[in-house]
Structure formats: C-alpha cells, structure tokens
Amino acid sequence: MTLAPPPALPVVGRASAPTGAHGLPLLGCRVRAGFPSPADDHLDVDLNLHDYVVRRPASTYFVRAEGDSMLGDGIHDGDLLVVDRGLEPRSGRVVVIAVDGEPTVKRLARRGGRTVLLASNPRFAPIPLEGRECHVWGVVTYVIHALPGASS
C-alpha cells in the first residue's frame, strides 16, 4: 500500500482556513444524552469549527461519503468526511483508499496475517488487499452529518 494524493476523488475542498472565518459560541457545559439536568446557560468561548476538526491544514481535505457500507461507524450517504493524509494508515483506522483505482472508505484491518478492508455494515464482505493495487488517500478523522429532519 502506498500513500497517495487523491487525484480522482471528488474532493469537496481543501482544509485551509477560510478568510474572515468567525467563531460560533460554545456553551460552557456538556449536554447529557441521557436524563436531562439543569443547564448552565452561559457561553464559554467562541468556537471555530475548522480549528476543531482540522489539525494539519496542509495535509487535510474534505470529501463526501457515498453509500451505506460504513453505517456502523456513523458514516452515512452524503456525510462530509475530514481526511488527514499526514496520519499513518494503521490497522483499526478508517481510511480513504483507492483499490484497483476505485476510491472507497473502509476500516483497515489485519486478519490471519493479511490486510483487509472492513465495512461496518454486515451486508458487506471484507475486501482482501493482497495482490491488488492500493493507494491510501488518508485517515478519516471526523464525520459531519445532519440529523434527520434537521435540515428541512
């Protein structure tokens, strides 16, 4: 496997900080996903989402996911993926990779001494990489998607 730039991937955009980017307010408390508790309704600091999800702008890009093979990892069709080419594509990480020229997003794994790609949807079989041309385009670091009904 080699680490290569994404030549044919429909990249949404580079990760350079937008000019005039403004931070949005960040609440100074965490929000429980279980039983509600009294909220601290004060603002802590301004948050620039770009600063939060892009650690290395020179090696980071955004791309849209397609399909449902990674639903178990919270990656839905149309989600925006933040991909860092500077991270090592180790076993267990979700990567954007071209296999025989076809880009895909899957979890890199070792099984029985062999490297495979795993979908997190049980409908999809593992993809063995032995004997195939593979180019890793980066490690997925964040997934951004709207909740159902939130964007309508």
The 10s digit of each residue's pLDDT in 12-29 is 555 565 555 555 444 455
Q: Thinking of the domain 2-15+56-144, which architecture would CATH place it in?
A: Ribbon (2.10)
Other CB atoms closer than 10 Å to residue 24's CB: what's the count?
9
pLDDT under 70: residue ranges of the chain: 1-45, 151-152
pLDDT of residue 8: 46
Percent over 90 (pLDDT), the chain = 55
C-alpha 65/C-alpha 68 separation (Å) is 9
pLDDT of residue 5: 47
Domain ranges of the chain: 2-15+56-144
pLDDT of residue 149: 84
C-alpha 129/C-alpha 147 separation (Å) is 34
C-alpha 14/C-alpha 24 separation (Å) is 21
151 catalytic residue (yes or no)? no
pLDDT one-digit tens code per residue, 104-125: 999 999 999 999 999 999 999 9
pLDDT of residue 48: 80
106 catalytic residue (yes or no)? yes
Q: Among the options 37, 59, 91, 106, which is catalytic?
A: 106
- Are 18 and 50 in contact, with CB atoms under 8 Å apart? yes
DSSP state of 67: S
- Are 128 and 116 in contact, with CB atoms under 8 Å apart? yes
Q: Among the options 69, 91, 120, 151, which is catalytic?
A: 69
